[in-house]
Chain A
Amino acid sequence: MPTMEIDGRHFEVDGDGFLTNPHIWNDDVAQLFARYDGIESMNDKHWAIVRIIRRNFEDKGMAPMIRTICQETGVKLREIYDLFPLGPARGACRVAGLPKPDGCV
């Protein structure tokens, strides 16, 4: 099983760095993963996006549409790409502890 070390903590991840076990996720893990992607400190918008992704995953087993993220958080579409430079999938979903979505992402 691939592992990734951040700040002395070891995480079991897939090759893309997505958590293998989404259930060990918590706010500390989110912050560590975000910092790893160059987001030094998560602001309210980062948290709002991560929480809605997380809730959708827990309810429906998959990442939400970006439309749902914008609707529920009030964050503008274009701003999401600035908040998470690696994009909604490899950026936001990874910080939210989801498995990597299928497809060209």
Chain B
Amino acid sequence: MRIANSEMGTANSELTREQILKGLEPLGTNGDSKLLTHLNSCVHCGLCAESCLFYLATKDPRLTPARKVDLVASIYKRYHTFSGKYLPGLVGARNLDTATADEMVDLLFGSCTGCGRCTMHCSIGVDISYLVSVGRKMLSNMDLVPSTLQSTVKAAIDTGNNMAIPTADFVDTVKWMEEEMADEVGNPEASIPIDQPGKRILYTLNPREPKFYPLSISAMAKIFYMAGESWTLSTRMYDVTNYAFFSGNREEAGLIANRLWKEMEHLQCESLVLGECGHGTRAFRWESPNYLDRGVPFPVMSSVECIANYIREGKIRLDPEKITEKVTIHDPCNLVRNGGVIGAQRFILEQFVPDFIEMIPSGADNHCCGGGGGMLSMSEYNERRIGAGAIKAEQIRKTGAKIVVTPCHNCVDQLIQLNAAYKLDVKIQTMAEIVAEALII
């Protein structure tokens, strides 16, 4: 889409002194050895450039991950080192002012999906995406989170789900999908349980499923039904997403994560199964103990691991003749590189997809789709997001696959757009959708 845009990434007005002080708080290290180590270790070898899809798609040196590290480190130097305080120009120390904040918004929100590929490739192990998240936290403290991203966080906090879906509409949609599922399994009694306490599993969804793409709900319900699972959805808290993980506001991220935690306690379920959402899985499973200062006391797994277990335990069977087209898989960064779920999705597809091809690179080294990090919600970066997606589009094209499976609804949406923009002519599916198609009833 060709859109003339002059407003990309600006703080718009002068920062107040209070804003600056709050913005500097995350750099007040108090002996935080992790932060100090990563802020002071970059040797500018430049290897990270080739790992970043924003650099690869544009060849713009401004977008290299090391520049993002330098930006945060230069502010740290200015306020926390002797040379930075007295000879800032000599050591590249920068004031936290409007120009610096504008650049931070543009580089840390507008040209980074937090995919972590640079971190994995860093020659000395600097956790670059951690430093980007520190920078985002500084911006969040200064109320400079792009409003387009913040409105998604606000919808989740105010209404209980990030698309502000009223409960009655949610229930109507689940009932509709229950009919669809019962029809497919040939049992009018087959149901999608809602708010039922004491079940083995509480299952969560991305709100875009009930709102616009409900077939993934009936697909997963069909899998649960065939596996004979004891499970339920919740009307009080079904939203697996946590956009505050992207905005850098730990309090809001903790508030959202705590709701899911409370709902597990409320419904007295044994395990939490997180729907196909990369960041949502990471934000709850791996990050929520950091937000909430306590470990998660119940088992948590992604739905991909849950489906793989059903196959291993012989609870579901899949028809190897059902899917005849060539299939590839897109690995969501937060689930795969940052979450370690690499084998489960491949194990599942091996069972019933005869013509499977990997992208190059794939698994932990896979390229981000370009829509992560909250990027999909930030309209002002649409063109850059679709531009960076050229790397993924080319990867897909080279496989010659007709179906791209990805266990992340956010990736699905970016891939739908890349499919149109780069004329890939592929079908994009979630894991539950392709598995449900091949289920032997």
Contact = CB atoms under 8 A, between A and B. Distances in A.
Given A15-B380, A16-B379, A103 B162 contact: yes
A103 B208 CA distance: 7
Contact of B152 (A36, A88, A103): A103
Given A67-B172, A104-B206, A1 B382 contact: no
B3 A13 contact: yes
Contact of B376 (A1, A3, A18, A105): A105
A17 interface: yes
A86 B376 contact: no
Nearest to A60: B166
Nearest to A14: B379
B163 interface: yes
B17 interface: no
Interface residues of A, number: 34
A87 B376 CA distance: 14
Quick one: which of A2, A85, A90, A102 has the most chain B CB within 10 A? A102
Interface in A66-105: 66-68, 77-78, 85-90, 100-105
A67 B169 contact: yes
Interface residues of B, number: 46
A42 interface: no
A65 B207 contact: no
A20 to B, nearest CB: 10
Contact of B164 (A5, A15, A62, A67): A62
A87 B212 contact: yes
B3 A87 contact: no
Contact of A77 (B3, B214, B382, B383): B214
A92 to B, nearest CB: 9
Contacts of A16: 1, 379, 382
Quick one: which of A4, A16, A90 has the most chain B CB within 10 A? A16
12 contacts: A16-B1, A38-B420, A65-B210, A66-B211, A67-B176, A87-B213, A102-B151, A102-B152, A103-B162, A103-B208, A103-B377, A104-B208
Interface of A: 1-5, 13-18, 36-38, 62-63, 65-68, 77-78, 85-90, 100-105
